[in-house]
Every structure is written in structure tokens, then in C-alpha cells.
Structure 1
Amino acid sequence: MKNLFSKKIALILIVVISIFVLFFKMYSEEKTSAAKPPKKSYPPGVLFTFDDDYIEDWYQADQLLHPYGWKATFFVCWYGSLTKDQKSKLHFLQNRGHDIAGHGYNHLNALKYSKEFGIEKYINDDILPLKAAMKKDGFSIHSFAYPDGARDAELDTELLKHFDIIRGTTYEEIRPESQFCYYEGNRVVYGLGIDDDYKQFNIPYYKTLLDYAKAHNKIVIFYGHKTVANADEKLETPLSALEDLCKYAKNNGLKFYTIDDLAKL
């Protein structure tokens, strides 16, 4: 009887020890795996985006910045009002390697319009007409930027049925490590404004974001509107500032991305 009892005790101890060893091994492997940072499959870089219908100005900016190898994404709105020459310039920019993307057929504030009339009507009135009109002219758009940056999670969910990536906006001059204007592998991204009427307009600050991106394998996302030599109105990005940032990015080995590039990463 004693031998049988001893064998049972020994068997129970073996089982308990085996479970403990297995649990410890799994915990150790999980902890080690969690400690390893995910490998980035893309080099650090910068993504310049511009909104609205300032096509002639974007075309002039490209003449200045092309020698730096820059690329940008142009989010177009009011497409039904564009001239033949403007559409031709958009094709020129697209052929240069830039992205042509959507910003609403009538530049409607998505949040206000959808709350008043519903998301389905917003999509039918401002998204589908834009995609159809641009597709007819040879622009297959895969990305979208919210007018006024007005968005919420429900809109994101519905618009991601029509686009690969959508861009919102973020503000403030805060520490680089706390900024939201980096690509993090998500289909919703946020750009930081570089028009000179924004309170965070500060070239040295923007360069700290580029430095942080390089050090941490990130992609900085900026957005502006009208690219001009002399910025004296709202929603204008000075060409001198843009050239300075492009030169800094190139000299520091940062890659220029478009919004559609992000969808391929």
C-alpha cells in the first residue's frame, strides 16, 4: 500500500513539475518575443501632401524641387471646375512620380455633412462623384484627405471601403517622440501642417521631426495647401521653407514617399 501511495505522489509531482517547466518556458519565450522590436520593412523618410486645387502652384513647386528628387501627394477637390490645362498639369505631376488623390468633389466637411444628412449621402454626394469624374480622366485615386481634417472613427470605417489610406490632421509643436505625424503601419494617418499661418510653423522644429524619423525608422507626414514664393495669406506654404526641408531630407538620406507608397509597405 505504501509503495502504491508513493508512486501516486511521485506521479503527481512529475505532472506538476512538467506543467511548471512548460509554463515557465512559454512565459520566457513570450517575454523575449515581446522585447524584440518589430522589424521595419522600409527606410525612414518624409511624405509631403498638399490639399485643394492649387494646381498651377504645385506645378511651379515641382519645377523648383524636382532636382532634389522629391515626391508629393496632391489631394484634389472641386474637380468639376478644373480646366483642361489644370488636368494636363495633374497628369504631368502624376507622370513625374507624384500621387494624385482625393479631397472631396465639393470639399464638404465630412463630419458636419454626415451628421446632418448621414454618411451614405455624404459618400454619394462627395466621394463617388469625385472618383468617377477623376477615373474618367485617367486618375485612379486610392487615397483621401479629409477637408478641414474633420473626421471620426465611423467615417474612417466607411471611407476605408473606398480608399486604401485616408489622412487626417494633427497640430501643435510638441516633442518629436510625442507627435502623431508619423506613419505607424495604419490605414489612417495624420499630417502636420506646414503652411506659415499655423502656429507650429517652425522650420527648425520640422527638422527635429525629420531627425527623429531617421533615428527611429519612421516616416514624417506633412501637409500644406498653396505653394507660393511669398506667403502672405492663409493656407500658404512658402517655397523657401519647402525647398529647405527637401534639401535637408535629401542631405540626411531620408526617402521621399507618396501616400500610395504607404499602402504598398
Structure 2
Amino acid sequence: MRVLIEEYLRERISTYYKGKFWKRLIKDIKNKNSNIHIKSEDKHIPYINKPGIAFSFDDSFRINDWYKYGKDLFGFYDVKVTFNINAFHHFEGQREHTQKEIDMLIDLQSKGHEIAHHGFKHENAVNYSNEFGLNNWVEHEIKPLFKWIENQSHSKTKEKFKKPVTYSFPYVSYTESHILELVSKYFKVVRGGFSDRNNLVGFNHTGYAPSIGIDEIVLSDVDYVKKILRIAKELGTNVIFMCHSILPDEVDWNDFGWEEQSLESGKYRISPKTIQDIIDEAKNIDLEFYTTSEIAGVATFIDRNMESSIREIISNPLEQWISISELSKITELDLSGKNISNLDGIQYFLNLEKLNLSNNNITDFRLLEKLPKLKKIDLSNNLESKNETFYHSKKIAE
């Protein structure tokens, strides 16, 4: 009985201090953004000025639960999130990711999610740099993961990863020197944790981006998150939430068999129910769901033929990143005969009225539903008659 009472008291004390932290954080967010005033008559346009939420999940040794519990929870280009990956499993002998795990990550990418950079072997940036130097950290943690990502492909679809646009610091450990070294030479945005400056993020963001941790180890009540969502909505800006594992409360971490060395990592988890509560609130107040790269204002493409064609059209063959705001201004687009098989990225052409996709290899046209002004489409000579998994779009029927 005494043990149970002590556990109860520890839990109550923990909840009390977590509550104090969240109340202080919410007050701080309000104070640091008190000078922002949004005109209620302003039209909110996704990616441009419509406030939103970004979930950012760290540590790809958790890929099995990301896929198992997140795939259906997030849907197809609905609740888009960012998965920050390494090349190696934290445990199990620190092995490299298996092909099955790579396939799961690329499957998630094919549903609209961002696969971002989280360090080759998840080294602590500050500790590693202090011991071996900043340049060595880049050579051993940043560059190798770019190469590893480029060398991977899906075992069945042969789809490849996009080149990462954003980075998240392992252990939320960094200095100003790390930020300056990475932006914009390697990334447009590098994500950390809580900030003592501002914990909300604007549009077309460049540089350091804060995030608010919402794993159960820090979150005592989801209502605190809902309050922050409403603040972001009122201010017309965005908030990034950092998470790790997606696991129902009843799942016992010890069942994974990673022994004592993994117990600290096991504390960083969030339940599908909590995520669903946050999603429901965000949808209820009409927030958009973004990846970190979208908050950075960067358009990305799965199909490299699609990307190269877009670069030619906007006269941007060599620039590091393609601007979403630039694509959103285009009203006519001719992509006929470009050997395109995946329309990922077309969702950024929000003012597109006329589109020619004839003579390509496209079987999935669902993303056309994301184009509110599209009136005229040419889809002739694609693979509809050859592929049983052809996905229609309501836009085609119209």
C-alpha cells in the first residue's frame, strides 16, 4: 500500500509541475506575440498565410510504430507530418535500417509526409563537435546521411527518397555555430526544441525553427496543446510539435526487447488517441497541416522528371529550392510527354486553371483534388487502361 501511495504522490507532483510549465509556456507565447494583429478579412491561403500545425517525429528506429499507428491516422495528403530519420537503429546492435524499414519510410513519403534529416548515427552535435570539431561532425553526421538516403529505393515501386530540406538536432543539442554551418548550405530549416525567444513559426521560414515537445513525458493535459493551436490560429502563424514514438497507452515498451539501455527512449512516446485529439481540434478551428519543409516554403517532388520539368518552366534549373509561393502563382501548366509517373508537388499550384498531363505514366490523379481553380485537364494517353490500381479524381469526373 505504501508503494502505491508513493507512486500516486509522484504522479500528482509530476502532473502539477508539468501543468505549471505549460501555463508558463502559453503565457510566454502570448506575451512574445502580443504585437501581431491579423486582419479578420484576410483570405487564408494554404502554404502562403493559412495558419497551421506541423507534427515532427524524431528517431527512425521507431519506424514500425510510425507506420503501424500513423499510416491510417494521418491518411493520404491529409494530416501531413515530418519524420526525421537516421540510417541506423539506436538499439539492436546499432544496425543499419533494413529494406523493410526503408520501404515503410518511402511508403509514408508517398502519402504526403516529409522524410527529413536527423543525423547519420544520431550523434549529439555539441558533444561530437567538442571532441572532434565542427567540420568533422558535418563530415560524419550530415554528409553521409545525404549519401545514404540517395542510395535507397523502395524494393517494389523503386521510388526514392526526396533530398532532405530540413534537419532536426538529435537530443535538441546545438550551438549557434551548428545553425550557421547548416543553413542554408545544407538545409533551409533546422529544428530544435523549446525556444526562449518565440515558439511559433512564420511562413517561408529560414534558419532555426523551435518546436514544442508533446510526448507524454512532458504533456500532462492535451488541452494545453489545444490552447496553443487557438493562439496560432488567432495570430495567423504556425506551430511545430515534436514527438517520438506513436504507441497506444497499453503497449509495454519492455516488450520490444531492447533492454535497459532503451528505457529512457521509451519515455518519449505519444498515443494515437492524443494525436487524434489534436488533429480533431486543428480541423475544428480550420488549421492547415504542414510538413516542416512546407513551413519553410519549399516545394518538393517525388518524381524527378516532374521536378526537372517544373524547374525548366520557372527558369530555375540550378537553385537549391523551389518556392511554393512561386508555384502558387502559375495558372497554366504543360507537362505533356515528360515521363512523369507521380504527381506529388502538383498540390502547390493553387491557382492552376489549365493542366496538360497527356502522354505520361500517371496512375494516381487524386492530388488534382487539391487544386481549387482547376478547370481544364488533358489526361490522355496515361496508364489507366494498363493498371488496375488507377486512382480517379473528382476533378476528372467534372
**TM tier, smaller:** 0.7 to 0.9
Contact 1:195 1:235 in 2 (8 A): yes
The equivalences for 1:217-228 within 5 A come to 217-228=236-247
Segments of structure 1 that go 5 or more residues without pairing to the other structure are 1-33, 172-177
The aligned residue for residue 191 of structure 1 is 211
The aligned residue for residue 187 of structure 2 is 163
Aligned pair partner of 1:236 in 269, 287, 298: 269
CA distance in 1, matches of 2:180, 2:190: 10
The aligned residue for residue 63 of structure 2 is 55
Q: Does 1:143 align with 2:143?
A: no
CA distance in 1, matches of 2:80, 2:74: 9
Question: Identity, % of aligned pairs?
Answer: 30
CA distance in 1, matches of 2:37, 2:230: 23
- Sort the Cα spacing of 1:35 and 1:253 in 2 relative to 1 into closer, same or farther, 3 A: closer
Q: Does 1:64 align with 2:84?
A: no
State which drifts further: 136-145 or 97-106.
Answer: 136-145
- SS in structure 2 opposite 1:244? helix
Select the structure that is richer in helix. 1
Deviation string, structure 1 residues 87-130 (Cα, Å, up to 9, x no partner): 11111111100000011111000011111111100011111111
The aligned residue for residue 14 of structure 1 is none
Question: TM-score, normalization: structure 2?
Answer: 0.53
CA distance in 2, matches of 1:95, 1:132: 20
CA distance in 1, matches of 2:143, 2:65: 27
CA distance in 2, matches of 1:252, 1:68: 19
Q: Which amino acid aligns with 2:59?
A: D
Segments of structure 2 that go 5 or more residues without pairing to the other structure are 1-34, 89-94, 153-159, 253-265, 298-324, 326-398
State which drifts further: 185-194 or 114-123.
Answer: 185-194
- Per the TM alignment, residue 71 of structure 1 is displaced from its structure 2 partner at its CA by 0.8
Aligned length in residues: 225
- SS in structure 2 opposite 1:100? strand
State which drifts further: 186-195 or 79-88.
Answer: 79-88
Contact 2:37 2:235 in 1 (8 A): no
The aligned residue for residue 279 of structure 2 is 246
- Sort the Cα spacing of 1:67 and 1:131 in 2 relative to 1 into closer, same or farther, 3 A: closer
CA distance in 1, matches of 2:226, 2:87: 33
Larger Rg computed on CA atoms: 1
The aligned residue for residue 108 of structure 1 is 123
The equivalences for 1:94-133 within 5 A come to 94-133=109-148
Deviation string, structure 1 residues 189-208 (Cα, Å, up to 9, x no partner): 0111111012x442000000
Contact 1:68 1:247 in 2 (8 A): no
CA distance in 1, matches of 2:213, 2:248: 17
State which drifts further: 139-148 or 224-233.
Answer: 224-233
Deviation string, structure 1 residues 140-163 (Cα, Å, up to 9, x no partner): 111100001001111100011211
Contact 1:227 1:236 in 2 (8 A): yes
- SS in structure 1 opposite 2:50? coil
CA distance in 1, matches of 2:282, 2:228: 11
RMSD after superposition = 2.5
Q: Does 1:207 align with 2:230?
A: no
- Per the TM alignment, residue 68 of structure 1 is displaced from its structure 2 partner at its CA by 9.3
Deviation string, structure 1 residues 192-226 (Cα, Å, up to 9, x no partner): 1111012x442000000000011110101101001
The equivalences for 1:9-48 within 5 A come to 41-48=48-55
- Per the TM alignment, residue 182 of structure 1 is displaced from its structure 2 partner at its CA by 1.2
Q: Does 1:258 align with 2:266?
A: no
CA distance in 2, matches of 1:90, 1:103: 14
Q: Does 1:181 align with 2:199?
A: yes
